[in-house]
Amino acid sequence: MDEQTIFVLRRIFKKIPSRNIEDLLKNWNCLTADQLRALDYTRPKWTLVENIISFCEERRLNMKHITNLEMINRIENPDNDTWHSCQLVEPQDDALFVELTQFKEQLKAYLEGVIRHISIKIKKHEDEALWIRIAWGDNFSKPNHLKPTYVVHHLHTSYVFICNLMAKHKILLYQALVVSTKHGSIKDAHLSNRSLTAMRTLLLRHYQQVFPNNHSMILDEGNTYASHPCIEKEHAPHEERRDQLASEAFGDSPTPKLETAVYRLETRYRGNGKTTLSDKEELFRGVVKFSSTSLLHSLRHCVASGMVEGPVTPLLSAITQKGRNYFVITDKGPGVSS
């Protein structure tokens, strides 16, 4: 093992909790059974890592083995980085017939054709997701394995999830995805989050949801009332209605774990008519951000408990219905930037 490989290996273990190392090494399957038994997982982490490195040197492992270890850890712990979603559009007639081998070959061929030094590794997970690790270099420097880009894509779906992508590599990756999936272009899906599972649940339509009907009514009852059988009976229909409104907006099943929703304002001050309150045509700009450890669960609880009136404003229900958590609000209404 050369110095760069050992350095990358140390950096990988630095990010892995000690309690996860044993299972990770077993899944990696690059050390012998005797070596795994010889490791003492009760020792300090730095000592354990040095022992692992010495065993890797005995096995003459290279960067290919080390990057495989990193991919296994990333697949098992995907929520350590912020993911951004993109949507493939304008599918060609044969887009549904793209096979895994064809996808791999075309993706690698395109990127290796425009960048001399690049490392691309593709692994198919048990849930049919394709995990792609790209270590970027250029025509003069070797791939940087310390800051790889990760891409997750389910073949024959229109969404792609990306993390750690630098701006200078964005157009290259986008074009490679368009070519290898046989689409016309790719665009921002305006959904970002640390939980990859939550994003896939929303965008791949695995989230069971009851959509609003045309008879939603605004609730005007109080938030609290005394506990009495007669009062409880009287308020039971209101509780059912609140639960219905909460389900219509955010579903009945456990909500996807989103942490934020951002609304960017680009509006003008206006009076009762259509005239602006200022002679200037400059826009009033601002940003409203909702944050919670589980934002959708918090919003659903607010509606179901009567803390807020229903029906839920489209600005909030659009998070689940459109699969977005970034919106731009203009004088024409809510939307997203182009």
- Asked whether 179 and 106 are in contact (CB, 8 A), the reply is yes
Phi, psi of 127 (to 5 degrees): -85, 20
Computed from CA positions of residues 131, 134, 203, 312, in that sequence, does the dihedral angle turn out positive or negative? positive
The counts of H helices and E strands in the chain are 11, 10
Reading the block at residue 36, the tokens are: 């795994």
Domain pair 80-203 / 229-335, same fold: no
Tell me the mean pLDDT in the region 6-29: 93
DSSP, collapsed to helix, strand or coil, labels residue 71 as: helix
Tell me: pLDDT of 233 over 80: no
CATH fold group of domain 229-335: Ubiquitin-like (UB roll) (3.10.20)
Reading the block at residue 159, the tokens are: 């969404």
- Note the pLDDT tens digit of each residue in 259-304: 999 999 888 766 665 555 555 667 778 899 999 888 988 888 888 8
Alpha carbon separation from 103 to 107, 173, 181 (Å, rounded): 6, 13, 7
Domain 80-203 - what CATH class?
Answer: alpha beta
- Note the pLDDT tens digit of each residue in 178-199: 999 999 999 999 999 999 999 9
Residue type, 107: L
Distance CA 257, CA 224 (A): 28
**pTM, 2 dp:** 0.82
Most confident of 162-166, 249-253, 270-274: 162-166
Distance CA 28, CA 167 (A): 32
- Asked whether 191 and 326 are in contact (CB, 8 A), the reply is yes
- At 236 the pLDDT is 55
Tell me the mean pLDDT in the region 105-124: 95
Domain boundaries, the chain: 3-76, 80-203, 229-335
Tell me: pLDDT of 129 over 50: yes
DSSP, collapsed to helix, strand or coil, labels residue 264 as: strand
Query: Of 161, 168, 181, whose CA–CA distance to 110 is shortest?
Result: 181
DSSP-assigned beta bridge partners for residue 134? 120, 149
